[in-house]
Structure 1
């Protein structure tokens, strides 16, 4: 799909490697990432999958000083996106190479529009109230972001709009994660929360995910919008990382500032 649009796509020589549950050892995966960063022919790094292992690359490692280029991915790639954003480079929380073909046409076009310099339309969801706010957008997989709390990879959360999605997490585990966010004080200075899809997270007979989310964040007194079309197992609308966004908890919208 990228090639059909006129892009040159090269696969890293190590892309078929495997080491335990990872795509190669940490040094080899870092080397592949650095190669893509330093090679001036490349304007973007397209992640092939999520899974697990991104945060391991960031231990005792810093991003090299290279020209700004796109990093595109989601789920486990949250750790890389959040870390890169601290250097002033905005990546894209969006479809990886192995999920792009499953996206609806509008979502594919949205991704290409953003990386090619065009504005993208607001996303519509279900507003939980709280008015309207503006802040720096930090999209994330909730589980991965939770495990970044208190580390050097955790960005400054003051004045941000968090955008969370997840997959395969029972309501009690989502409760546990959000309780940790509350107890660390990480939610005290944020301006709003945008909620995407929480796929395969329901356990029959238990509290629903929506009930859990309302219980754990509904009392924060900030704009919250749920049911936005991003995350696993469905449309995964591209969301820029670290750019200004507008969240309307009354109208149920998330708008990206294109300026």
Structure 2
């Protein structure tokens, strides 16, 4: 099992830095509410150099976004990096990128931020798959508590979904947005998945697209390396009106059921609803009889 480097846990009064790794910021009201959540928990906020920069659909040029990430990563006073939003673009800024392991810190985000999280995982550096600033204020209280509890070094409870049967699996946790992860397979951003428990979610992808992506993973032999699959929310993944199609649930069953590994679906993470924090690299137990995902270490 991979041995991950875990950044220091956060303390009341720590400084956290906000950057936009992907798409340009549009949801200013939601962004301000997310900042207030962090302030209300006692953290100081620093706005990174590109938090409100725009370059087409990106939050600045690749150079500007790389610089903002580098400044935050190397700032000794910064204890965590908060991603403003998802969108698209994280893979672009990671071309020819390398991570310093001297003073790792938490990076928190999901969706397109998968590129950043997976890049860190190639260096066995842990990060946190969780709400970005523009979605944070919509989280229920238990999910917010889970986020801060984990970052501050406290235990977090199991999350509950629907078990598919097949017993338990132990492995290291690797969450991802399915579409973003699919587009970085077999690149320098693709970590070694041996022994992983994948946690997958997606949004606004038609069922046949989910089928196509999962078929690619099957053809690449990736599912032969992993220990289990935790499925979150696949929101707004409906077929076009009046088209003949499987549902996304039927696609997931068709493409995954016969892998003979533990699978749990309907777990509370992803877009358009509660997005429970999932740390990368921790050892977890996936119980496909009880339908639970539990962090062990």
Instruction: Report the equivalent of 1:229.
Output: 268
Instruction: Report the equivalent of 1:211.
Output: 250
Partners of 1:175 and 1:216 within 8 A in 2: yes
1:16 is displaced (CA, Å) by 1.2
Q: CA-to-partner distance for each residue in 1:171-206, whole Å, 9 max, x for gaps?
A: 000000000000111111110000000010012542
SS at match of 1:161: strand
The whole-number CA distance in structure 1 between the counterparts of 2:291 and 2:101 is 39
In the TM superposition, structure 1's runs of 4+ consecutive aligned residues that sit over 3 Å from their partners are: none
Quick one: which of 122, 126, 133 aligns to 1:90? 126
TM alignment of 1:246-257, pairs within 5 A = 246-257=285-296
- Unmatched runs of 5 consecutive residues or more in structure 2: 1-36
The whole-number CA distance in structure 2 between the counterparts of 1:132 and 1:232 is 26
Q: CA-to-partner distance for each residue in 1:4-61, whole Å, 9 max, x for gaps?
A: 1110011113211111110000011000000001111110000000100001111111
Q: CA-to-partner distance for each residue in 1:200-220, whole Å, 9 max, x for gaps?
A: 001254211110000001100
1:121 is displaced (CA, Å) by 0.4
Instruction: Report the equivalent of 2:110.
Output: 74
TM-score by length of 1: 0.98
The whole-number CA distance in structure 2 between the counterparts of 1:59 and 1:14 is 18
Instruction: Report the equivalent of 1:125.
Output: 161
May I ask how many residue pairs the two structures share in their alignment?
A: 258
- Unmatched runs of 5 consecutive residues or more in structure 1: none
TM-score by length of 2: 0.85
The whole-number CA distance in structure 1 between the counterparts of 2:48 and 2:96 is 23
Measured on the aligned residues, the alpha-carbon RMSD in Å equals: 0.9
TM alignment of 1:151-166, pairs within 5 A = 151-166=187-202
